[in-house]
Amino acid sequence: MSDLQLGLILIGVLVVVGVYAFNRFQERQFRRRVESNFDERPPADVLLDAEVPRSEEERIEPHLGGGQEDASAAPDLPGTADSDAVGERRREAGPESGDESLAAPVQRAEAPASPIDYVCDIEAGEPIPHAALGEFLKAAATIGKPVSVIGWNARSNDWIALPCAAELALSRIQASLQLADRSGAINRVQLSTMRDLVHQFAEHVGGVSRCPEIDQAAHAAAEIDRFCAQVDISIGFNVIPNRAGGFPGTKVRGLLESAGFALESSGRFVLRAEDGTVLMSAENIEGEALSPDRLRAAQVPGLTLTMDVPRVPGGGRVFDRMIEIGRHLAQALDATVVDDNRARLTDAGINVIRQQLRSVHAAMKAQGIPAGGALAARLFS
């Protein structure tokens, strides 16, 4: 074996050891931060002010027609049902006298199951102090992925989102760490931090906790991220002028507003459903933000209409409406509807896109994450 080969092997070993040491250092840093959150008592009731930040990174959204894989072949997502437990004390099922009125609500109801979360349960024999809940939310917000926490309200016999009013007495909570979003899958350090945080909090309040296995959750996160990458697409086409120059900005604005669009601070015209869901958008083909002053003073070189497929409910109907709007704009502005390659968008091309759209929606529905639903809104935020 030559000196070069020995040197390469030595470098490889050092890289592996360095990566392992760095991951261990990160995990220790997270744990210290979690422990410090419980050591510091806030001067005020932080539960009412706690917020859970979301990641601002987003996966780049490709346009349909660029070699997308068939989304109908998306893999099944594994569950995360297996749990471990910490603590020896269990909550009593109810009084031995036979009066089940106190225990029945908790026994009859379960929190909504979610295939995209690492879900941990915490149960205490007594109501959890409101300040302690606030500390828990504050610590969970440092993990780096969205965390939602709900509590069982025995008074109203249902689950409520935290933070909540201080007078509500909660003895059971459920914390859910989102396994993936458009910035990618969660990592093992974040999963370990969540598990440790839950276990430490349960011990802090004298309760018991149950968390899924880390290995299974990490595998589920990778599968969810892979599935999301397959269906995370946007459909788009362009409206370009038939003659040199562009479209009068004021005319573009009038046509789009008459179709239900509104010019938003992002510099795009957006068409929303009654509940505020974005159905489609229209923007400057060159990417320059549009504004009232810009539209009055200059021409628009062309328009791009897009639809974010995973986030739009009833995507087939919305796509048909987008085609109708595009054709109406083309007729009114003396323009042509084209694809990303500036080729005229024909009925045959539209039918191909429509079929691919059906495949994506069928794959999402099969995974229990229908397009435009609450889970899709979280995954593709």
DSSP state of 98: S
Amino acid identity, position 70: D
Half-sphere exposure of 147 (CA within 13 A, CB side): 27
Write the DSSP symbol of residue 242. S
Domains of the chain by residue range: 27-60+79-87+111-229, 233-379
Q: Which fold has domain 233-379?
A: Cell Division Protein Zipa; Chain: A, (3.30.1400)
How many Å apart are CA 305 and CA 261, to the nearest integer?
Answer: 11
What average pLDDT does range 352-372 have in this prediction?
93
pLDDT (mean) for 14-27: 62
pLDDT value at 23 more than 70: no
Of the ranges 23-27, 148-152, 215-219, 333-337, which one carries the lowest mean pLDDT score? 23-27
- How confident is the prediction for the chain on average, in pLDDT? 80
What would the two tokens of residue 379 be?
């995954």
CA distances from 95 to 91, 98, 101, 270, 338 (A): 11, 6, 9, 58, 71
Q: Quote the pLDDT of residue 17.
A: 63
Task: Classify the C-alpha dihedral 177-179-184-186 as positive or negative.
Answer: positive
pLDDT at 169: 84
Residue pair 193/143 in contact (Cβ under 8 Å)? The answer is yes
Encoded tokens for 38: 């419980």
Q: Which of 123, 8, 58, 68 is nearest to 233 (CA)?
A: 68
For strand 83-86 and strand 207-212, is the pairing parallel, antiparallel, or unpaired? antiparallel
| pLDDT one-digit tens code per residue, 79-99 | 443 333 333 333 333 333 333
User: pLDDT tens digits for 304-329?
Assistant: 999 999 999 988 999 999 999 999 99
Question: How large is the greatest C-alpha to C-alpha distance in the chain, in angstroms?
Answer: 87
pLDDT reading at 54 higher than 70: no
Which comes out higher in pLDDT, residue 42 or 254? 254
The reply to whether the predicted model has a pTM over 0.85 is: no
The dihedrals phi and psi of 72, each to the nearest 5 degrees, come to -70, -15
Number of helical H runs and strand E runs in the chain: 10, 16
How large is the average pLDDT for residues 115-133?
92
* Listed range (23-37, 39-53, 190-204, 244-258) with the worst mean pLDDT: 39-53
pLDDT of residue 335: 97
Q: Which helix (H) or strand (E) holds 134?
A: helix 130-140
Contact partners, residue 247, CB within 8 Å, separation at least 6:
241, 299, 300, 301, 302, 303, 333, 335
Determine contact, residues 214/192, Cβ cutoff 8 Å.
yes
Q: What is the pLDDT of residues 204-233, one digit of tens each?
A: 999 999 999 999 999 999 999 999 999 999
Torsion angle in degrees (nearest 10) through CA of 327, 332, 335, 340: -40
What backbone torsions phi and psi does residue 76 show, to the nearest 5 degrees? -70, 145
* pLDDT recorded at residue 100: 34
Using alpha carbons, list the distances in angstroms from residue 105 to 93, 170, 206: 11, 13, 22
d(C-alpha 257, C-alpha 269), whole Å: 8
Compute the average pLDDT of residues 328-350: 95
Cβ(141)–Cβ(149) below 8 Å: no
Closest CA to 286 of 345, 256, 246, 243: 246
As given in the structure block, the two tokens for residue 199 are: 């276990």
Give the pLDDT score at 73.
42
